[in-house]
Structure 1
Amino acid sequence: MRPVRMAFAGALLGTLLLAGCGQTTSNTPAGNPSTAAAPPQDQNFPVTIEAGNGKITIPKKPQRIVSLSPTHTETLFAIGAGPQVVAVDALSNYPADAPKSDLSGYKPNVEAIVAKKPDLVIVSDDINKVVIELGKLNVPVLLEPAATKLDDAYQEIAELGAATGNKAKADEVVAGMKSELGKLAANAPQKKLTYYHEIDQTPYGATSSTFIGQIYAMFGLTNVADKAPEAAGGYPKLSAEFIAQADPDLIFLADVKCCQQSKDTLAKRPGWKSLSAIKNGQVIELDDDIASRWGPRIVDLAKVVGDAVTKASNR
């Protein structure tokens, strides 16, 4: 599960709004159905996006979008592009009505993607050179890689808005995210607390230099993983002894659904039973998906963190 769990470098969202699909009508001259007028073009197109795979020009508003990234699927529906999406990858489980398929973002099959007849494909990884292969078939592809900081997440949402003809809604979503995150950070208690964020039970953690680390930093938390040996990559492999010695005030688990981790399973690890977070009931079970995506539901994660900080500060 580790490649999926480490989508942020290898972890962040308020209410997602679904917008209805606008309809255009064409007038057919009486007695001559073959001369039906073409629907008017969106005046915002063509548009050029500076994506991870370079400058990509999208000639007209896409109507058959394929998303091979759970994060970008969430974003597309949040900005009102849901009606334009014809297929999403097998891991895109939010929102529930997204057109899930057996397409894979980790082992993409070019023929299967092309069979969906997309006029825009959105990916977060260029695995197996799918961007090049689709390019050879003249299928527009946007590579929007995992965010390394909050500004990256905001920028990608804005870019998807421009690319799909939903710029105004995308800007609204970003403004809402910034406002909500700002309020949560401003209302957070100022008590100094330490924490450990677990990606999987190996255990792998995430340092403050990562996207997920930035979310915790908003609340003034100190990351115990920052002092781990070989933490420069942002996702150090830790030892049970390291965590036991650090004894964090809070433990956040992002491996609940994938790996069935909980306060009880942690207590069975060598030296962990007496950890402060376990004894004080300050082990927080996160939603794995929300904790590993960098789309609009970042705010949801921040709310959970804020609530945990408030609870721990009031002890």
Structure 2
Amino acid sequence: MHPAIRSAGFLTVGIVLALAIAACGGSSPTPAPVPPLPAPNPFAAVAGIVDPDNHGWPREVDGLNGRITIAAKPLRIVTLSVGHDEMTYALVPAERVVAVGSATKNPSYSNVAHLARDLPTISREPEVILAQNPDIMVTSPFVKAEIVESLSNAGLTVVQTSLENDPQARINNILFLGYIYGEEARAVELAAEVQARYDALQAVVASKPDAARPRVLSATRYSDKLYTAGAGSTEGGVIDGAGGVNVAALAGLERNPIIS
């Protein structure tokens, strides 16, 4: 799948249902300061959080673009991927998302198209992004370094995150983004919900013999090209998690290569 779309790997099993909560509470006020977190601190094991005991401002995180200081709670958020947008809507009141990419408005790719349809549409042009006056932008690894650098030089706080598709990494993605947004309590709640749903799914999958596992090939058309999903891809993670056999991975393919 095209990099702009496949970055939806941050979307975890169960998060779609959680979006209903975000949609209903979209106009709710920003939550009060973070209540005491469960022990042990769930943020302590999340790569990228410099001081997991710091729940005030400023706070620091390590992204692919280096160590980033977040001066205050971000109230005007943009991202450059569908997956980040989907997680963001599940973590913050909807009014804090001020613009989205065109893919996020397309229901063929996005589970939050109905929430984002009236927002301004941004591209990867720095001028277009800066015109929305965001406090922060979260990006995937697929955004070019020169775009990240240009926006950072213009004074925008930019966090470029990594992209992993194993189950624990997806939980950590939720916690990391929640920490960036100052929504730690909501992130812990969402992560627990997603983990519970994933565990329930695995209990069902474990009851099926290997011989009963379906062989699955994922194919996605984007523009004029056809992509499949090999090992380490978003779709491959979904196939594995649901108990299928990813035939592209068996063939030695990785990520999302073009097949036609």
Fold in common (TM above 0.5): yes
Task: Specify which of 165, 174, 194 is matched with residue 148 of structure 1.
Answer: 165
Residue 51 of structure 1 and its aligned partner are, at CA, apart by: 1.9
| 1:162-196 CA-partner distances (Å, limit 9, x unpaired) | 11111110111111111101101212351233222
The answer on 1:59 being equivalent to 2:71 is yes
CA distance in 1, matches of 2:98, 2:257: 38
Task: Specify which of 210, 214, 217 is matched with residue 233 of structure 2.
Answer: 210
| 1:249-288 CA-partner distances (Å, limit 9, x unpaired) | xxxxxxxxxxxxxxxxxxxxxxxxxxxxxxxxxxxxxxxx
CA distance in 2, matches of 1:224, 1:116: 43
Partner of 2:43: none
Task: Specify which of 29, 32, 43 is matched with residue 21 of structure 1.
Answer: 29
Which moves more between the two structures, 212-221 or 172-181?
212-221
One-letter amino acid of the structure 2 residue matched with residue 56 of structure 1 = I
C-alpha RMSD over aligned residues: 2.9
Residue 237 of structure 1 and its aligned partner are, at CA, apart by: 5.1
CA distance in 2, matches of 1:23, 1:215: 32
Partner of 1:303: none
CA distance in 2, matches of 1:237, 1:95: 26
Are 2:78 and 2:137, in contact at CA under 8 Å, matched by a contact in 1?
yes
SS in 2 for 1:175: helix
Residue 67 of structure 1 and its aligned partner are, at CA, apart by: 2.2
One-letter amino acid of the structure 2 residue matched with residue 84 of structure 1 = R
SS in 2 for 1:96: helix
| 1:142-161 CA-partner distances (Å, limit 9, x unpaired) | 11244333333222221221
Q: Between Structure 1 and Structure 2, how many residues are aligned?
A: 216
Provide structure 1 residue ranges, at least 5 long, that are not aligned to the other structure: 25-41, 240-315
Are 2:57 and 2:71, in contact at CA under 8 Å, matched by a contact in 1?
yes
Distance 1:234 1:162, change over 3 A: closer
Are 1:61 and 1:165, in contact at CA under 8 Å, matched by a contact in 2?
yes
Partner of 2:131: 115
One-letter amino acid of the structure 2 residue matched with residue 198 of structure 1 = A
Normalised to the residue count of structure 1, the TM-score between the two structures is 0.60
- Identity, % of aligned pairs? 25
Distance 1:208 1:44, change over 3 A: same
* Structure with larger Rg: 1
Task: Specify which of 71, 75, 78 is matched with residue 90 of structure 2.
Answer: 78
Normalised to the residue count of structure 2, the TM-score between the two structures is 0.71
Query: Where do residues 34-49 of structure 1 align in structure 2 (5 Å cutoff)?
Result: 44-49=56-61
Are 1:90 and 1:100, in contact at CA under 8 Å, matched by a contact in 2?
no
CA distance in 2, matches of 1:203, 1:85: 31
CA distance in 2, matches of 1:62, 1:73: 15
Partner of 1:196: 217
Are 2:219 and 2:226, in contact at CA under 8 Å, matched by a contact in 1?
yes
One-letter amino acid of the structure 2 residue matched with residue 121 of structure 1 = M
Query: Where do residues 1-315 of structure 1 align in structure 2 (5 Å cutoff)?
Result: 2-7=2-7, 12-14=12-14, 15=17, 16=19, 17-18=21-22, 19=25, 20-22=28-30, 44-93=56-105, 94-98=112-116, 100-104=119-123, 108-124=124-140, 125-127=142-144, 129-188=146-205, 189-190=207-208, 191-200=212-221, 204-228=227-251, 231-236=252-257
CA distance in 2, matches of 1:156, 1:73: 13
CA distance in 1, matches of 2:77, 2:5: 25
| 1:41-82 CA-partner distances (Å, limit 9, x unpaired) | x96211112222222110111122122222111111101242
Which moves more between the two structures, 166-175 or 218-227?
218-227
Distance 1:23 1:206, change over 3 A: closer
Are 1:122 and 1:143, in contact at CA under 8 Å, matched by a contact in 2?
yes
CA distance in 2, matches of 1:43, 1:4: 31
One-letter amino acid of the structure 1 residue matched with residue 167 of structure 2 = L
Residue 96 of structure 1 and its aligned partner are, at CA, apart by: 1.8
CA distance in 1, matches of 2:234, 2:196: 18
Residue 8 of structure 1 and its aligned partner are, at CA, apart by: 6.2
Residue 220 of structure 1 and its aligned partner are, at CA, apart by: 3.4
Distance 1:220 1:115, change over 3 A: closer
